[in-house]
Amino acid sequence: MEKNESELEKRERLRKQLDDFHQWPSKFMFKFILPNLPESLESLRKGFGESASVNQRLSKKGNYVSVTIEEVVPDAESVFERYERAAKVPGIISL
């Protein structure tokens, strides 16, 4: 990645990588770590469609939860949209 790469250039580079790797529509796997709070999990879940598969795994002490969501998305832009919605959840880490 170039040091002076703009956000738009970065997004376009990532879009090309997604388009090169996937044939849309495609099942896409999203991974997150977030605080184990019901409101955080609910906020994250709302950013995905009804048909999305959601798997959760608690951390050793139970303070955090690892969430894997699989959903069929129509294009790379839909992947970006879901990550942008998820980024609004307090304390979330997108993997």
Do the beta carbons of residue 54 and residue 45 sit within 8 Å?
yes
Alpha carbon 38 to its chain's center: 18
**Structural domains counted in the chain:** 1
Query: 4 in a domain, yes or no?
Result: no
Does 17 map to a domain? no
Are 65 and 34 spatial neighbours (Cβ–Cβ below 8 Å)? yes
Task: Tell whether 1 is covered by a domain.
Answer: no
> Residue 27: beta bridge partners?
72
Is the pLDDT assigned to residue 10 strictly greater than 70? yes
In angstroms, how far is CA 36 from the centroid of its own chain?
Answer: 17
User: Is 8 within a domain?
Assistant: no
Q: Determine the structural domain holding residue 86 and report its residue range.
A: 24-94
Residue 9: inside a domain: no
CATH for 89: 3.30.70.260
Q: Model confidence over 49-63: pLDDT tens digits?
A: 999 999 999 999 999
Asked whether residue 16 is domain-assigned, the answer is no
10 Å Cβ neighbour count for 93?
A: 13
Read off the pLDDT band of 5 (50, 70, 90).
Answer: confident
- Whole-model pTM? 0.88
The mean pLDDT of 5-30, rounded to a whole number, is 94
Average pLDDT, integer, range 72-78: 97
Domain-embedded: residue 38? yes
Percent of the chain, pLDDT > 70?
Answer: 97
19 in a domain, yes or no? no
